[in-house]
Amino acid sequence: MTNADAWSATPPTATLVLADGTVIEGYGLGAIGSAPGEVCFNTAITGYQEILTDPSYAGQIITFTFPHIGNIGANDEDVETVNLASASGVRGAILRADVTAPSNYRAARAFDEWLKARGIIAITGIDTRALTARIRETGMPNAVIAHAPDGKFDIEALKAEAAAWPGLEGMDLAKTVTCGQSFEWDETSWKWNEGYGRQEAPKYHVVVIDYGIKRNILRLLADQGCRVSVLPATATAQDVLSLDPDGVFLSNGPGDPAATGTYAVPTIRAIIDAGLPVFGICLGHQLLGLALGGKTRKMHQGHHGANHPVMDRTTDKVEITSMNHGFAVDADSLPEGVEETHVSLFDKSNCGLRLTGKPVFSVQYHPEASPGPRDSHYLFTRFINLVRERKGDAALPERGAA
């Protein structure tokens, strides 16, 4: 008997209800209950754990276009939220194929058990190709994902909840995923058969403003010889400057940058005025764009996956990148003195900027990968070279540049 035959003989135990009233039935795993969110699609074929624990996905329900998700199980090493026990904010996962037993030597638990522990609802048996095509045509819909082992759902109530959910525009979600208090970070990158290391002799001090930071970003900063101090999203410029940093990093994160910008933009402007090197990623890039006088906009379908080509206009080379964003900086809104440095080769949307004459730059995509290609790791060296220049040290080659 095929999976399709087995599914057809079993009553549905999960449902996805879109805001327009569309009901899509499937089979549930993970947490029991319901959750509203914005439905997006992710085109990566590896790294489902990193994707589901990326705080930038807060408020979203992820459709995986790759059909086989969850089959290698889960472990604690591949979690990207800073707090291993905390939820990332992702509302749910939509899968095509049934999930088999773990088949990887690194697996510590089954995928279903891991989802339950993190409070993530998932639905299988969905025609994810059709759902992805719909999103491409009509945009990312609001929806409610629900899982009930007895198969009993109040569909009308779920339709009303989906229709009433306000969507991500205007939402400040950084406050929901940021750290509760400041902390220090010294863990370095993972090595085969060694695990993660420790930075024991840092030369530079970088302050990170956490809008929803991923662990691998912090590791790559530590790899660059940095002592890393992490502050909450609401940190003021005084909070940052009182630590006497050599550079400041603006992290990734979820939600509408214009909403988060109400408190983040004044802080970023003061840091720039202080003359410190600044590097932003994802939401940090969007907030920097706002701080420099630009505007942001909601995207039709967003960019989510590990196969996005981007041109670095500072080198005229192309790199394959990992992306996760539903908002973008409007390149046409950038004022004089702010240069567009990177551009998406899919839709020409802005993917990077720098402030001429100052050590300030950012990218929209995720150079830390995890998951995804490592083409863009060189950007961390580019940032630290700005720190080195300010300290009077010689620059390092941007190893790994595309």
Give tens-digit pLDDT for 207-235. 999 999 999 999 999 999 999 999 999 99
Contact between 396 and 382 (Cβ < 8 Å):
no
Claim to verify: residue 148 and residue 193 sit in the same structural domain: no
The answer on 228 and 154 residing in a single domain is no
Residue ending a domain, among 102, 136, 164, is: 164
Does residue 154 form part of some domain? yes
Q: Does one domain contain both 287 and 383? A: yes
Q: Check which CATH number belongs to the domain holding 97 and give it.
A: 3.50.30.20
Is-contact 51 79, C-beta < 8 A?
A: no
Query: Model confidence over 21-68: pLDDT tens digits?
Result: 999 999 999 999 999 999 999 999 999 999 999 999 999 999 999 999
- Domain containing 87 equals 3-164
In sequence order, the β-bridge partners of residue 25 are 15
**Model confidence band, residue 88 (pLDDT cutoffs 50, 70, 90):** confident
Neighbours of 28 (CB within 10 A): 25
pLDDT tens for 234-267 read: 999 999 999 999 999 999 999 999 999 999 999 9
Q: Which pairing describes strands 183-185 and 247-250: parallel, antiparallel, or unpaired?
A: unpaired
Catalogue the active-site residues: 282, 366, 368
- Domain boundary residue, one of 164, 199, 217: 164
For residues 158 and 182, membership in a common domain is answered with no
Same-domain pairing of 111 and 149:
yes
- Distance from C-alpha of 249 to C-alpha of 278, rounded to nearest angstrom: 6
pLDDT for position 85: 65
Tell me, yes or no, whether 397 lies in a domain.
no
Domain count for the chain: 2
Judge whether 40 and 62 are in contact, CB under 8 Å. Answer: yes
- 263 within a domain of the structure (yes/no): yes
Burial of 309 (0-12, 13-18, 19+ CB in 10 A): middle
Q: For residue 282, tell me if it sits in a domain.
A: yes
Q: What is the CATH number of the domain that holds 238?
A: 3.40.50.880
Shared domain check, 341 and 202: yes
Contact assessment for residue 48 and residue 64, using Cβ atoms and an 8 Å cutoff = yes
DSSP string, 70-117: STT-B-STT--SSSTTS-----EEE-SSPP----STT--B-HHHHHHH
Q: Euclidean distance between the first and final Cα of the chain, in Å?
A: 47
Same domain flag for 157 and 236:
no
Q: What is the share, in percent, of the chain residues with pLDDT greater than 70?
A: 96
d(CA 249, CA 184): 14
The answer as to whether 400 is a domain residue is no
Q: What is the tens place of the pLDDT at every residue in 328-385?
A: 999 999 999 999 999 999 999 999 999 999 999 999 999 998 988 999 999 999 999 9
